[in-house]
Structure 1
Amino acid sequence: MSPVARKTTVLVGDRRIALTNTDKVLYPGTGTTKGQVIAYYERVAPWMIPHVKDRPVTRKRWANGVDGKVFFEKNLPDSAPDWVRHHTIAHKEHDTEYPIVDDLPTLVWMAQQAALELHVPQWRFGPRGGQQHPDRIVLDLDPGEGVGLRECVEVAVAARELLQGMGLDPYPVTSGSKGIHLYAGLDGRVTTAQVSDVAHELAKALEQDLPDLVLSSMSRAERTGKVFVDWSQNNGNKTTIAPYSLRGRDRPTVAAPRTWDELGQRGLAQLTMDEVLDRLEAHGDLLHPVASAALSVGRPDSGHWDSDRTQRANDAERPGRDRLATYRAKRDPSRTPEPVPVDAPSVREDGTPTFVIQEHHATRDHYDFRLEHDGVLVSWALPKGEPTDPGKNHLAVMTEDHPLEYGGFEGTIPVGEYGGGTVTIWDDGTYELEKWREGEEVIVTLHGRTNGVRRLALLHTRGRGKGRDGDEKNWLIHRTKDQPDRLADAGGGTGAGGASRPSAATARAERKRIDAAAPSATAPTDRRTMQATLASGALRLDPADWAFEMKWDGIRALATVRDGRVTLRSRNDNDLTDQYPELQELGERAGVDGVYDGEVVALDERGRPSFQLLQDRMGVTKPREVEAARRRTPVHLLLFDVLEADGHDLTRLGYTARREALTTVVEPGGAIEVPPEADGDLDRAVADSAERGLEGVVAKKRSSRYAEGRRSEAWLKVKHHASQEVVVGGWRPGNGRRAGGIGSLLLGVPGPDGLEYVGRVGTGFRDRDLDEIAEVLGKAERATSPFVDVPRPDARDAHWVRPTRVGEVEFAEWTADGRLRQPSWRGWRPDKDPGDVVRES
């Protein structure tokens, strides 16, 4: 930011966002400023977010306006706020961390980045970050030279007939550029490849029907005078401009849903952002059926309903006979994706009662708290959510009873319908009922799959009998001081390998817990590690809510045990099995097959993990060399988590439950260790870590589930020394004793515009290190610099290399111009790809 740039901090939802240069003109043709762009995305958010929710977002940014340079950005930059949700996609040569736009603050932050265009694929991430089947099909009608919207409409009408013949209902969107997109919702039962094949066949059928107008092949030479039906955007690796996204053209046009009647009108044109906002206020989202269908994929079936409003009105007049009458009277099942069962509820007599807490982004954002009771979900709206402090009660407003099917509902209720907005599940599970005094008091202990066990009380504010179907709906929800006993810690000592074996009673209890977990449907090769976020500022973490573990200085590995055989994979999916044969011992020490998370370490003479020593084992795969390195430098596997055990998926269980499962099923010893939690609070853990010469501490929220493939604030890492992973992009010759060889390495960190130069490192090397580095880099030479910018003195005698290798340095601090001060080489990181590297703050 320049010294004269204006900066304003605003509150968006519950997030503070710094807005800069809001008066900068991004569309010179219309004078549209960055501030107006931000205001557009803020207003369009309720209608746009359902179309991009849970999808990886690729951005096209015009920092200096549409007449300037455009930046194409996939990775989430290290400068992004830590509250921006993201998921990692593993590509063949690297992993990419994509942001997810699930809320208004994230959308506003992207607008602040001058990300005018947002592009998304036709599929969404699943609950654990896996790629789901596509939930929509899209045809992009792109006019070539000599044709325009009128010809696209002719093709769109023909395509509509074909799609309807397949049982699909297409919706048109003028793309904001030149053509038209056709969307149709899918049920998520077919693969990306199958959808892509169908789209290709549709394009070829249109070309056969309209040979003088339609082109289905990718040949650009043949596009003149024809409409190219681009079917390829259904490929899982391709994206389409998101509905309601701006376009980076001469005017602020928008990818805007239209009606079929509009397409037939004279003067059809692309719409600008002001026109789109006016239409939304008047008519709502014309594309909402596609979003609703997408958000319902994989959710429980909402049941069949005869949409006769007269019958619903009659039901509403008999609330004593049907507790769902009020619920039905407020909803038209032909307009909302919510479950609206026909039959009156019946009480379920078997099993444990369930609960659900749903996050509801509506006119006013809130949470809905629902308890299964007497055949329905008795429901309260929580404007401030569930309380976490026994000293602070929260308001709970009783609402109408909901059907049991609502416990699995996630989706978008259309604007204009009752409760219009997006609903997602925040936590769900079972509960133990302690007291239920109708209209007065309810006390329950929740067993949540996401947020663990807690005891809550609901109290009506003014006495008996006024809490249901009366004028007074206000209750208080209270977190009781007496909470269920927490599960025992993993062990008592602070030394690695000091965990004790649990008792038989604990083992039986944990076996019951594992049996209650969801069966695992994820292949071990599809598993990804959860990543910690670097902590900043002074932390005040309650040990009742957080566990503290030592941070081990090694290489992260997922260990899969199958029939006594162990396979090891690094974070970037490299096979490490042959490099560390001594870790096959896990196959004997794990009582059940499973997938375990841990760190491969080499210990120095004082028993401390040494990253430098571990370098001796990295990349060695030939049996004879492995055996020699094993004798010189044995390794250990320090386990700290378990993703799957005995065929059951444990990732949705809380941290404490997973740790108990780990200590139950693994017998530590030999090369396999299960280090316990640290004693005391965070300050004590940090002091112990420093005294033992370790790298730092990782704080883990006890209630947090295992978030595969993404970085999470539920795990916070606290380091004693600043370290940074770097991409090596070149080297400079040495002097004196190093004359004729490598003197220093030129380092970079990926940024929005490419590989950003962060300085050079010339210390921390052993002579053997430099010889090995010279051999590696000699095979990767290139003629030009891979960096965005390098100071002339550093570039003067530089030898450039392909930026494919990742290393790690320690350093004193970041300089004002973004360079590493006093870096020292620690070693290669073969477990990381360049796409994994982010700037540590």
Structure 2
Amino acid sequence: MAAPQTVTIDGHRLQLTNLDKVLYPATGTTKGEVLDYYARVAPVLLPHVRRRPATRKRWPDGVEGQVFFQKNADRSTPSWVRTHRIQHKTSSNDYVLVDDVATLTWLAQTATLELHVPQWQVGRTGVHLPPDRLVLDLDPGEGAGLAECAEVARLARAILRGMGLEPLPVTSGSKGIHLYAALSAGSDPAGARPSSADEVSAVAHELARYLEAEHPDLVVSDMKKALRGGKVLVDWSQNNGAKTTIAPYSLRGRPHPTVAAPRTWEELDDPGLRHLTFEEVLDRVAADGDLLAGLTQGHLSQLEPTPAHLARFERLATYHAKRDPARTPEPFDAGDSPPGQTFVIQEHHARRLHWDFRLEHEGVLVSWALPKGEPTDPAQNHLAVQTEDHPLAYGAFEGTIPGGEYGAGEVTIWDAGTYELEKWRDGKEVIVTLRSERRGARRLALIRTGRDEGDNQWLIHRTKTQPGAAEGDSPAARRQTVRPGARSDDELPGGPAGNPDVVVRLEPMLASAAEPADVRALQADPGGGDREWVFEMKWDGYRTIAVAAPGPDGVPVARFTSRTGQDLTRTYPELAPLAGQVRGDLPVVLDAEIVALDASGRPDFRRLQQHTSKAELMVFDVLQVGDRSLLHAPYDERRALLGDVLDPERPVHVPAVFDGDLDAALAFSRRLRLEGVMAKRRESTYLPGRRSRQWLKLKHTAAQEVVVVGWRPLHAGEPREDARYAGALLLAVPADDGALRYVGRVGTGFTDADRRALAERLTAVGRATPPLDGVPRPDAARARWVTPRIVGEVEFAEWTGDPATDPDARLRAARWRGLRPDKDPDDVVVERP
């Protein structure tokens, strides 16, 4: 047995053991040879796996022994190996990011032969970036082989080229051929890179079906094995965001040490085409370099040393000089993203507690240390000491800086969001308005007081005039911070006679839960004409009654109120343009949904909660125009009038309606990754505040609003608990008699920032005794009870029983979606068809 060897790679020490152990008995290939292969192929392999969460297949006893399929980074993972956490439906996994030679060598030492990665990368803040490549897996069925795969590859190449894509072939090292195509701006017919894995997967699926239709004797797109005899499956599914593909240049766990090897198109014409071994691949790389280099040119070109990049690296020189990447988990990537205006305030328990205030500016986070935190009173300024600029990735950093390192201690995010810049005089003065869901909007000024060059002392000041305060407001009003969720007046302007002194109180009409089969049965009812249905998309946001009415000076103004009567007008000032888009007599009262859209134009509930994107308004009904109430008008009449009274421009939208085609509406909703579909009777009148079977909601996933009745602190290791973080929430729903009924607990779906914010909020409404009966003893153990006034929402797999008849029915596999500040506990109902 060969003696262990200790090697140092990029400053990381690794012990390599069992180098003479045979991993491929058929060829006698040893672990030492595997390590040598990965070290030599790393320059061409790493660009294709970097920043991609890796799933590993390990053969500790060789390819004739047991294989281990590993996603999670276990306790044996070195501290310097970068990982990325992905939350699945019932668990979370920390995936290894194979970003450097040291990590690749460590994986080979663990007998990892195969590396599988997705077609997307992890961004600087941990977000999943849009896919940057499309892949087709050409998999031969019984009776077919590489020759048939090569024929299908040539057919697919012609189609992909017609789409503006240049495919590159890889013999998989197992059975078939993979075709890769880089996705970048201008690479698709619409002139822009597809913005989601779902879109890329849909394109690949259509291509596969087209090939099958044109060449039915050669191609199949259905996964069923019974259909694949003598044909080639065009597997489009590996473009799914949850799927992975064997990485180019990865070894395979086959009897012989074959490799997923890039090939030329000329080679695919060779009748003797076969899979290549690792020795052959090393020779080819030495002679020809990376045949897949074109696959990474798009995103690698972003790393060119432009003046902006060089300036950012120079600004981060002090940051890097104070830290050792081998000793601290803090980010070292300079980051590269479109210019933004984000801020973060991090609570830093170092030698002395302080808060770090950081503003994104010119490609870095300009930073100040606040010994006493952010000021809350305009009469009291706080000290701010400017520190070194930090990389953009630091805006998402939470963790522990080890003892002995610069800034040693625990770092957590206290607040984060976006800011509006009013003034920036380098080294002298900065004035900004911060906006966040957690702590609202506030206007702050930073003024440098130090006169000597190197004196970094500033003052941070909360200005007297705060967001949402008008010029004529009282000093008290100007000092008030606008807080999301502040209560509005109980009623809305605009009475039935058009008298501004008369007010009405409208609550949104509510829908009943249903399944598609229920709607199909109603559509098939021979009672026919007056029972037709239309379908709208179900938007994942906050329901609102929007009113456009004359302001004090006669100019129209818009006001937004939630289901529970909360005034959302100042929380979402970006929706004010609605007032100028209304035509005809005022007031106009609309039913709508406030949403936040992601980069691909899809609603993102977390963005809305955190106010990290500007809100937009989806309008789908009109309830009053001038002195005319439309509550008793049928849906079709209201919808037609909506087009007459509203001339929408962003941020206001009037989404299209699907006329009678339920399947098309459901398919469209899934393609856009929306929450579901609303089915509405054409004859339905508007019933304020009432839940009706005239409107039905069809959700793609089960979701339930819940009332939080207790919580359990996060375990920090037995027997210690960390009460600064919520580990699990105890949940209830109102029963038919109004009493709360326990339905289980939820412990997944939270970020660290969510857990900390929930612990603070729940502690503030704590109580000594449980607010309900029937909590099982194991769930009640260590529970901290709260007054039941906070509403949230969870996704779940199923009920353990019929919630209508079984008082012990529980939510199975619940996952937290977020708080619902727009709802009261009395609004919560059991969502069941």
Please give the TM-score of this superposition, normalised by the length of structure 1: 0.45
Query: Relative contact order (alpha carbons < 8 A, sep ≥ 6): 1 or 2 greater?
Result: 1
Please give the TM-score of this superposition, normalised by the length of structure 2: 0.46
